[in-house]
Amino acid sequence: MQKFIIEGGKRLSGELKLQGSKNSSLPIMAAAMLAQGESVLKNCPKLTDVYSASRILNVLGCKCSVSDTVVINSEGISGTEIPESLMREMRSSIMFMGAMLGRLGECTVSIPGGCELGPRPIDMHINALKKLGAEVSDEGGRINCRLRGGRAKGTRITLPFPSVGATENIILCAVTAEGETIINNAAREPEICDLCGFLRSCGAEIHGDGCGSIIIQGREKLHGCEYTVMPDRIAGATYLSMTAAAGGEIILKNTCTAEMEPFLSVLEQTGCGIYAAPDTIYLRSGRRLKAVRDRIRTMPHPGFPTDAQAVLMAALVTADGTSVFEENIFDCRYRHTAALVKMGADIEILGKVAVVRGVKTLHGAEAEATDLRGGAAMAAAALSAEGVSVISNISHIDRGYEKFEEAVRTLGGNIQRV
């Protein structure tokens, strides 16, 4: 098991080009299966989750290669079943359910893996696919879905909560359905718009993405295209929080600044100097950060993103004053706090609230990454701490950050993978 050894207490400084978005790339890779012929994806990050998606495509008979670009040719698609071992590698394996139904009319999957953030059911996905005409049966954990008549029928679906994954699965199934589908209370995350942007480039007709209601006119066939995946707003939030925590300055290039606004508007309250252009963000962190006065409530987009909660907390543990987080998306997304406390942070968890009383400094410690963003938060805290930290279980971090240690080193951070 690999580890990061991090020697902290040094200011960071440098320029970074932000990676492409993980949470866009994965549903877009699943969507490429809907397009006849070849799709070429630019700006896909090289991550273990992207390789897992590639393996799934290849198992299903598509040809997928990952190098500077991701090239997917769906001509040979034949399989309708994803082995349980591949389903377990990541949460986004569930995106293939809607895509397989959209292309082949049937599929067999199982409960997906991914970070353990509390219960992550797929009831909204299943109920929506049933509304689109799928017959679903569960045989010992294997979920078989088959569309009546081989093709989905457009319908109106109102989600009880704007689930990102359920919205994506509905879109993937509905773009080739017969007739019109309307998704009410749809997720508005930028990655949903990116998926729709890709599908539109393939010939799909989708309106309203980024708003509460998405309207899809089903098309019989889609074609391949070339598409550039959006930048990763959460990796961006991570490198900005890391620099804010350690002190120093960063020029972040290739950003999606408008989509990062819900995060930036909170980070700004810590007193960092932030200058933002549409595709570049400059941050300078000089003095001790200020605590954030308003409660930081994670909410569906355009609220504060749950994925940035842990990394921002890593910066606020040494701020002057008390900051309060409220995690409203996942039941169990404070698992990183034990490691931060081990480094000297003062954090009290009261149900879905975390009270962070800023301390003057952190000290190095041994910690185990608990999940993707939690692991990144531990690394950010370790870079601001005095002394050496050892972070194990870093396969979590590798699932979401491309060449993490190279990025940290570009900023002058002292990090080694052993």
Considering the complex, what minimum distance in angstroms separates the CB of residue 329 from ligand EPU? 5
In a 10 Å sphere around its CB, with 0-12 CB exposed, 13-18 middle and 19+ buried, how is residue 305 labelled?
buried
Nearer to ligand EPU, 236 or 247 (CB): 236
Pick from 34, 107, 164, 314 the residue near ligand EPU by CB under 6 A: 164
Report how far apart, in Å, the C-alpha atoms of 195 and of each of 208, 405, 414 are: 13, 29, 36
Q: Are 379 and 391 in contact (CB under 8 A)?
A: yes
Nearer to ligand EPU, 165 or 248 (CB): 165
CB atoms within 10 A of CB 228: 16
Pick from 166, 229, 260, 319 the residue near ligand EPU by CB under 6 A: 166
Note whether 373 binds ligand EPU by CB under 6 A.
Answer: yes
Pick from 31, 41, 372, 408 the residue near ligand EPU by CB under 6 A: 372
CB-based closest residue to ligand EPU? 165
Considering the complex, what minimum distance in angstroms separates the CB of residue 272 from ligand EPU? 23
Nearer to ligand EPU, 22 or 146 (CB): 22
Q: DSSP secondary structure string, 218-243? A: --S-EE--EEEPPB-HHHHHHHHHHH
Nearest to residue 100, comparing CAs of 173, 25, 198, 187? Answer: 173
Nearest to residue 329, comparing CAs of 309, 349, 312? Answer: 309
Site string for ligand EPU, 93-122 (x = CB under 6 A): ----------------------x---xxxx
Q: What are phi and psi of 18, to 5 degrees?
A: -70, 140
Note whether 218 binds ligand EPU by CB under 6 A.
Answer: no
Which one is catalytic: 44, 115, 145, 256? Answer: 115
Note whether 161 binds ligand EPU by CB under 6 A.
Answer: yes
Q: Are 369 and 378 in contact (CB under 8 A)?
A: yes
Cα–Cα distance, 332 to 256 (Å, whole number): 28
Burial code of 329-366, b = ≥16 C-beta within 10 A, e = fewer?
Answer: bbeebbbbbbbbbbbbbebeeeebebebbbeeebbbbe
Note whether 26 binds ligand EPU by CB under 6 A.
Answer: yes
Q: List binders of ligand EPU among 307-326 (CB under 6 A).
A: 307
Considering the complex, what minimum distance in angstroms separates the CB of residue 397 from ligand EPU? 11
Pick from 329, 340, 407, 415 the residue near ligand EPU by CB under 6 A: 329
Note whether 330 binds ligand EPU by CB under 6 A.
Answer: yes
Considering the complex, what minimum distance in angstroms separates the CB of residue 360 from ligand EPU? 30
Nearest to residue 69, comparing CAs of 39, 28, 34? Answer: 39
Q: Which residues pair with 361 in a beta bridge?
A: none
Cα–Cα distance, 191 to 184 (Å, whole number): 17
Pick from 39, 74, 92, 389 the residue near ligand EPU by CB under 6 A: 92
Tokens 């994670």 belong to which residue? Answer: 298
Number of residues that bind ligand EPU (CB under 6 A): 27
Nearer to ligand EPU, 122 or 385 (CB): 122
Note whether 12 binds ligand EPU by CB under 6 A.
Answer: no
- Is 272 known to be catalytic? no
Nearer to ligand EPU, 117 or 289 (CB): 117
The long-range contacts involving 273-281, CB below 8 angstroms and separated by at least 24 positions, are: 279/231, 279/253, 279/254, 279/255, 280/251, 280/252, 280/253, 280/255, 281/236, 281/240, 281/250, 281/251, 281/252, 281/255, 281/257
Considering the complex, what minimum distance in angstroms separates the CB of residue 124 from ligand EPU? 3
The answer, yes or no, to whether the previous bond of 302 is cis (omega within 30 of 0) is yes
Note whether 306 binds ligand EPU by CB under 6 A.
Answer: yes
Nearest to residue 296, comparing CAs of 310, 283, 286, 275? Answer: 310
Q: Which amino acid is at 203?
A: G
Considering the complex, what minimum distance in angstroms separates the CB of residue 234 from ligand EPU? 6
Considering the complex, what minimum distance in angstroms separates the CB of residue 328 from ligand EPU? 9
Residue 180, helix vs strand vs coil: strand
Q: List binders of ligand EPU among 269-288 (CB under 6 A).
A: none
Q: List binders of ligand EPU among 123-142 (CB under 6 A).
A: 123-125
Q: Which residues bind ligand EPU (CB under 6 A)?
A: 23, 26, 91-92, 115, 119-125, 161, 163-166, 187, 189, 234, 306-307, 329-330, 372-373, 400
Active-site residues: which are they? 115
